[in-house]
């Protein structure tokens, strides 16, 4: 049965890497220091002056024929990403008036790879039949020996794995600074694109928008605490108490953030696909800083 509530495993993966990969903590600390410097020095702004195109390879790891999602479904997902990251998605019209001026174009686009790592023409889709009926968080889906598909070079391609995930998980991403061999994003095969196996309420392609936000170093807007002590390190997203789910009605006030309350329509909250529709200018700056620093190989490839 398809999940009814958004559940993202990115922060659980973040904590796992902190425990298992000694270099990850230092890499993340350096990424945060670089982000602060890039914002004030103008390095992030310089990245934003040009359109960055990210080559994508999609690994479809399937046990059944139904799980082998179609090229058309994958293409529908790429179309959603390109609207969402360019702020051309029609539902930006639903952003409440107080925040419409914060909606911003990240100047990032995604395209399925046309050449594989050795230069052979490709449609950017790798299909792997697995004996495994499902995967959990972690790296199994990224390893051939564990029933998955190994990554293409992660400094040249955004690797996206599509599979059956268990325990209600919709997806997860690896933050910058983790192991190169497992870098990328994983998404449930009923939460990709807008057709085929995509199932409501996660049939709008926004799970990958959310997870790629993490891949570009964005945090959840509530800072992953269960009180008002957290924060996402972005100044123009109001602090909020915890995740919003479903399709809330504006305003939702927590953490003394009235009169406008939580920015629940932000891609980095937990609402249904139909309720999320924006990145802020501050989030765009943070993503641009990531492209100027930890993920700068994608700027050179554009």
d(CA 113, CA 92) in angstroms, rounded, equals 28
Would you put residue 173 in left (φ > 0), alpha (ψ -120 to 50) or beta?
beta
**Burial environment of residue 281 by CB neighbours within 10 A (0 to 12, 13 to 18, 19 or more):** middle
- Which listed residue (13, 43, 67, 211) is catalytic? 211
* Cβ(81)–Cβ(259) below 8 Å: no
Tell me the backbone φ, ψ of residue 106, rounded to 5 degrees.
-80, -10
131 has catalytic annotation:
no
CA distances from 4 to 171, 190, 207 (A): 14, 11, 13
* Cβ(236)–Cβ(227) below 8 Å: no
Token pair 């911003």 is found at: 104
**Active site members:** 211
């Amino acid at each position: 049965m398809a999940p009814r509530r958004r559940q993202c495993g990115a922060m659980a993966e973040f904590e796992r890497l902190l425990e298992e990969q000694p270099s990850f903590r230092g890499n993340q600390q350096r990424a945060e220091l670089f982000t602060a410097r890039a914002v004030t020095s103008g390095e992030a702004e310089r990245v934003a002056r040009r359109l960055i195109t990210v080559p994508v390879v999609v690994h479809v790891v399937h046990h059944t024929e139904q799980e082998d999602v179609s090229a058309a479904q994958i293409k529908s997902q790429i179309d959603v990403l390109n609207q969402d990251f360019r702020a051309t998605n029609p539902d930006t019209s639903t952003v409440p008036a107080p925040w419409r001026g914060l909606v911003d174009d990240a100047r990032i686009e995604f395209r399925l790879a046309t050449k594989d790592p050795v230069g052979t023409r490709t449609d950017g889709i790798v299909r792997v039949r697995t004996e495994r009926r499902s995967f959990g968080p972690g790296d199994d889906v990224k390893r051939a020996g564990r029933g998955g598909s190994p990554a293409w070079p992660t400094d040249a391609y955004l690797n996206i794995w599509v599979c059956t995930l268990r325990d209600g998980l919709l997806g997860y991403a690896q933050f910058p600074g983790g192991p190169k061999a497992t870098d990328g994003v994983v998404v449930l095969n009923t939460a990709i694109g807008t057709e085929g196996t995509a199932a409501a309420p996660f049939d709008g392609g926004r799970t990958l928008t959310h997870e790629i936000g993490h891949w570009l170093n964005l945090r959840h807007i509530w800072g992953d605490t269960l009180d008002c002590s957290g924060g996402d390190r972005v100044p123009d997203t109001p602090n909020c108490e915890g995740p919003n789910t479903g399709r809330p009605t504006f305003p939702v006030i927590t953490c003394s953030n009235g009169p406008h309350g939580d920015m629940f329509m932000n891609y980095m909250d937990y609402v249904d696909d139909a309720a999320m529709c924006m990145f802020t200018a501050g989030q765009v700056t943070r993503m641009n800083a990531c492209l100027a620093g930890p993920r700068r190989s994608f700027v050179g490839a554009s």
